[in-house]
DNA sequence: CCTCTTATTGAAAATTATTTTCAATTATAG
DNA sequence: CTATAATTGAAAATAATTTTCAATAAGAGG
């Protein structure tokens, strides 16, 4: 993943700097959505003079290249995670923040019905499931 | 709607001031999601000395009472609209911003499958459809 | 109506999140 | 190795939201 991202950045004319590589490594390997500050803190371990502003700038490019996406949650919408290339849906653990992709939804019928009923031409959908992962279920209750 | 909201505010110990009433009227009647600033601008028409800070404070209370909800869209998550009492789904026009509720989704099977496959205990879901409303389809293209 | 208490107000300051500016540095094409 | 243009981090600027505060006013109880 890591490597692929660096290639893509490079092919799009972006230079591969240490700051950028640190951000790429952190976010490409995370199973949680991370905020710019969280990424910054982690990145400082690899490169202690990195600036928060470089984190923002790298996120901007990764988002533009659709390698990452913003994750919307009830508490905040400032976190980012890996994006899947294809159309996708998220399954989020409200306790620990773990996120997985899932598929297998079949909304065709629903979309056709709503479309007919409302006159909307529907082009996109967001589906997210929230719950508690297996691990967090064990840990408490 | 208007009246009902004022009653609820009142029953929860909140006083009914002109500033509050202006905000309630604006947001309870809108078919679009509105940002604090947009609400503020509209509210000034009714009460020209209202402060933006009162808009924020009223939104906070209306959200707490579940009369309004934040709307998440690709471009921003800072807008609010009426909340439906029951579980609900949104249909949004990406062109003009109109929003409707819809129901009739049947995600039981999907949720059971994902739950079994991943071990998550799923407690909630978000489903939003994006498209273009009948009106906006006519207007352009 | 009056009065008292306390929630609410708007202005201003403070905080937080993000973006822009800028001069110095550095990746990379050749 | 060199030249060029992208990138950097610091600092300033901007935007969004929250807090502080003294003045005001809603509304409970008389
Ligand atoms: Mn889907
Ligand atoms: Mn549903
Ligand atoms: Zn978990
Ligand atoms: Zn429309």
pLDDT tens sequence across A25-60: 999 999 999 999 999 999 999 999 999 999 999 999
- Do residue A107 and residue A70 come from a single domain? no
pLDDT at residue number B104: 85
- Please name which ligand lies nearest the alpha carbon of A124: 1
B114 shares a domain with B45: no
User: Do A34 and A55 reside in the same domain of the chain?
Assistant: yes
Strand D close to B29 by CB, under 7 A = no
Cα A79 to ligand 3 centroid, rounded to whole Å: 17
Distance of C1' in D10 from CA in A37, Å: 17
User: What are the pLDDT digits (tens) for B5-59?
Assistant: 999 999 999 999 999 999 999 999 999 999 999 999 999 999 999 999 999 999 9
Rounded to whole angstroms, the Cα distance separating A74 from B63 reads 12
Are A67 and A100 in the same domain? no
Domain that holds residue B69: 3-82
A69 and A134 housed in the same domain: no
Q: CA A96 to CA A46: how far, in whole Å?
A: 24
Q: Are residues B36 and B63 in the same domain?
A: yes
Return the bridge partners of A121, or none.
B132
Same domain, yes or no: A51 and A97: no
Taking the CA of residue A63 and the C1' sugar atom of nucleotide D13, their distance in angstroms comes to 24
Per-residue pLDDT at B123 exceeds 90: yes
The number of domains in chain B is 2
Q: Say how many C-beta atoms besides its own lie within 10 A of residue A35's C-beta.
A: 15
B107 interfaces chain A, CB cutoff of 8 Å: yes
Cα–Cα distance for residue pair B89/B125, rounded to 1 Å = 9
When pLDDT is cut at 50, 70 and 90, the band that residue B141 belongs to is low
For the domain that residue A71 is a member of, what is the CATH number?
A: 1.10.10.10
Residue B2 pLDDT grade (very low, low, confident, very high; cuts 50, 70, 90) = confident
DSSP A49: T
Indicate if B78 and B33 belong to the same structural domain.
yes
SS3 sequence of chain B: CHHHHHHHHHHCCCCCCHHHHHHHHHHHHCCECECHHHHHHHHHHHCCCCCHHHHHHHHHHHHHCCCEEEECCCCCCCEEEECCCCCCEEEEECCCCEEEEECCCCCHHHHHHHHHHHCCEEEEEEEEEEEECHHHHHHCC
B94 and B77, same domain (yes or no): no
Say what the pLDDT of residue A104 is: 85
């Amino acid at each position: 993943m890591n490597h692929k991202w660096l290639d893509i950045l490079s092919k799009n004319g972006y230079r591969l700097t240490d700051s950028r590589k640190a951000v790429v490594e952190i976010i490409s390997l995370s199973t949680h959505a991370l905020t710019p500050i969280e990424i910054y803190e982690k990145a400082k371990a690899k490169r202690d003079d990195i600036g928060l502003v470089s984190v923002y700038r790298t996120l901007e490019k990764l988002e533009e290249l659709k390698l990452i996406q913003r994750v919307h949650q009830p508490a905040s919408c400032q976190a980012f995670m890996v994006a899947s290339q294809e159309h996708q849906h998220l399954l989020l653990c409200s306790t620990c923040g773990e996120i997985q992709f899932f598929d297998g939804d079949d909304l065709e019928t629903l979309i056709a019905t709503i479309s007919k009923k409302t006159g909307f031409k529907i082009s996109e959908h967001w589906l997210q499931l929230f719950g508690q992962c297996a691990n967090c279920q064990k840990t408490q209750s």
